Copies of this chain bind each other. A is one copy, B any other.
């Protein structure tokens, strides 16, 4: 399951994506708009900023805005910042590879091979879906299923 942290991060980026062209948005306003606990959001935005996705400005009239084109912010990258690996087992992770505790022989592990397939299938969506795509899909009023 996606952590709330990740969900909040995506929602914040989407909101800031819609705010493009306007002055930066304050944490407090964003927290209210998206119903996110203020101090928790503060941490999340800081992470996003330190990862280069946001620009921040202190002082009166300050706040946050996107530092990249929404087309260039992909969900896979956000997820990795907030939740870590995308793969369901550490030994199948591209960016956070770790040996599984229980695994006797990784080379012949049938579980691993299967979950590498899962990882690829998941990344195929998440590494190609950007904040811009998420925003675009909101306009599209067709129910998802």
Question: Which residues of A are in contact with B by a Cβ distance under 8 Å?
Answer: 1-2, 4, 7-8, 10-11, 14, 34-36, 75, 85, 88-90, 92, 100, 102, 107-118, 121-122, 124-126, 129, 133-141, 143-145
Contacts and interface: CB of A to CB of B under 8 A. Distances in A.
A140 B144 CA distance: 39
Contacts of A85: 1
Contact of A115 (B2, B109, B117): B2
A109 B139 CA distance: 9
Contacts of A141: 107-108
Nearest to A105: B138
Contacts of A143: 107
